[in-house]
Amino acid sequence: MSEEHRTDVSGSLAVCRTVGELALLEKALGPLFVRHSEGPRHDAREQSIDGESGLKMPGLSVNPLTPESWWTRPLEHWIARQLVQYRQLQRVGGRKFAWVLTGREVGRGPDNEPLLAEVAPLAILRSDVLDESEALYAEVFQRGRVPR
């Protein structure tokens, strides 16, 4: 999907072009979350469903861009990790893209992901941000290392 099409789909949302821009947005407006879907307009008419059980969930399935309190590395590292870990969701279905939102957490999904209600879309992420995240992740993390 072209960047122009993404902007049209998302209306008047901000467009994040770098991980640094996304980090500034997080610092100013956090807590923030990322969702990989067909966009805010589509999701306003939909409900997240657990794929294995078929059960409707009480909110939109998202992933956190706000680091946990134990995180002492740069915010940009957390953001890159979160975007890389879930980028495959965008690759499924072809029409999906990453967008940033906030909202009220109403539960947890089957993979312990936050579920949001009363969502407020804030920005879309250009594919450049995801590519930059992949590069940063490869630079600062040990991919596939088993936790202790």
Please state, in angstroms and rounded to a whole number, the distance separating the CA atoms of residues 125 and 3. Answer: 10
Q: Contact 57/48 with Cβ under 8 angstroms?
A: yes
pLDDT on residue 15: 94
**Over pLDDT 70: what percentage of the chain?**
84
Q: Model pTM?
A: 0.84
Cβ neighbors of 70 (< 8 A, separation 6 or more) are none
| Pick from 58, 40, 62, 39: nearest CA to 114 | 62
Cβ neighbors of 41 (< 8 A, separation 6 or more) are 9, 10, 11
Token pair in block for residue 20: 């640094």
How many residues are there in the chain? 148
Q: 98 pairs with which residues across the strands?
A: 36
Please state, in angstroms and rounded to a whole number, the distance separating the CA atoms of residues 127 and 17. Answer: 8
Task: For residue range 77-121, list pLDDT tens digits in order.
Answer: 999 999 998 766 555 556 788 999 999 999 999 999 999 999 999
